[in-house]
Amino acid sequence: MRMNTHKGMFPVIAIIIALLIIGGGGYAVKKVSDSTREKAAKAAEEQVAKDKAAEEMAVAAAKAARVLTVTLGELNKSGQTGEATITGVGEDSIKVSITLTGKASKVAQPAHIHLGMCPNPDAVKYPLTNVDKGVSETIVPITLDQILSELPLAVNVHQSAADAKTYTSCGDIQVENITAAVQTGMPAPGTDTKETVVTYDANGFSPKSITVKKGETVVFKNETGKPASVASNDHPNHLLYPEFDQYKTDQRGKDEFQFTFEKAGTWQYHDHLNAIMGGTVVVTE
Q: Which CATH number does the domain housing residue 109 bear?
A: 2.60.40.200
Domain of residue 257: give its range: 195-284
Residue 120 falls in which region: left (phi positive, over 0), alpha (psi -120 to 50) or beta: beta
Q: Is the pTM of this model over 0.75?
A: no
Q: Please state, as a whole number, how many other Cβ atoms lie within 10 Å of the Cβ of residue 264.
A: 13
Indicate whether 246 belongs to any domain.
yes
pLDDT band for 69, please (50, 70, 90 cuts): confident
14 domain residue, yes or no: no
According to the model, what pLDDT value does residue 36 have? 73
Pair 163, 246 in one domain: no
Same domain, 92 and 139: yes
Domain count, the chain: 2
Mean pLDDT in residue range 90-97: 85
* Residue 6 pLDDT grade (very low, low, confident, very high; cuts 50, 70, 90): low
Q: Determine, yes or no, domain membership for 238.
A: yes
Residue 155 has pLDDT above 90, yes or no: yes
Domain assignment present for residue 190? The answer is: no
Pick the residue with more confidence: 169 or 15? 169
Are 242 and 262 spatial neighbours (Cβ–Cβ below 8 Å)? no
Mean pLDDT, the chain, rounded, equals 82
